[in-house]
Amino acid sequence: MRILGIQGSPCLKGNTAALLDAALRGASESGADVERLDLVKLDINPCMACHQCDSGNSCRRHKDDMGVIYKRIREVDAIVLASPIYFMGVTAQTKAMIDRCQCFWIEKYVDKIRFYDGKRRPRGLFVSCAGSPKQVVFEPAIHVVKAFFAAIDYQYSGQVLLGFTDDEALPVRKRSALQEAEVAGKHLCH
């Protein structure tokens, strides 16, 4: 099994990265080959709505690192998408990557090509952190991430959410969400 972690926080050692690493650790302990890509280290331009992907299967406008993501999406058995909440949504790095997957949306919903027909669909897990203790702050991001996984034809397998991260008295590394993420990572392998 191959599992890809896409890390969308600009903080490489922050709360979201810790949650993602816990999920990948769980998957790795269950025998998966895991890889983490940090979006902030990649050159990913925003979609320019040029519509060149209306006929074809990838973005032809930009020559950047999205090629790596396109390739992995079709190779792996599961993706753990990790993003903190910024202004009620995912980070700009994460959203740029998602928008550039419009080519998969076209393939599935316009060209009606089902890439995984007859095969097991890969699975998608969302892990996220937010400063607010209110669970409602995750809701807009969950809609975006579900739409992303649907477009790339992955089966959404749930989310691990950690709120109240900015309270110094509750360091993320000691919180139960890390165990929850580890278990969710293990479940991706079954």
Ligand X SMILES: Cc1cc2nc3c(=O)[nH]c(=O)nc-3n(C[C@H](O)[C@H](O)[C@H](O)COP(=O)(O)O)c2cc1C
Give the footprint of ligand X on this chain (CB under 6 A).
9, 11, 14-17, 84-88, 129-132, 137, 165-166
CA distance 103 to 113: 12
CB of 104 to ligand X, least distance (A): 26
CA distances from 181 to 7, 54, 114, 115, 184 (A): 14, 37, 30, 28, 5
* Comparison of 16 and 69: residue with beta carbon closer to ligand X: 16
* Comparison of 86 and 149: residue with beta carbon closer to ligand X: 86
CB of 12 to ligand X, least distance (A): 9
* Comparison of 14 and 158: residue with beta carbon closer to ligand X: 14
| Nearest residue to ligand X, by Cβ distance, number only | 14
Helix axes 92-99, 139-151, angle to 10 degrees: 30
Q: CB under 8 Å to 36, separation ≥6 — which residues? A: 4, 5, 7, 20, 21, 24
CB of 112 to ligand X, least distance (A): 37
Closest CA to 39 of 84, 74, 76: 84
CB of 159 to ligand X, least distance (A): 15
CB of 10 to ligand X, least distance (A): 7
Only one residue has tokens 């709505």, namely 49
CB of 34 to ligand X, least distance (A): 19
* Comparison of 165 and 188: residue with beta carbon closer to ligand X: 165
* Comparison of 85 and 184: residue with beta carbon closer to ligand X: 85
* Comparison of 139 and 166: residue with beta carbon closer to ligand X: 166
Phi, psi of 94 (to 5 degrees): -70, -45
DSSP E strands in the chain: the ranges are: 2-7, 33-38, 78-82, 123-129, 155-162
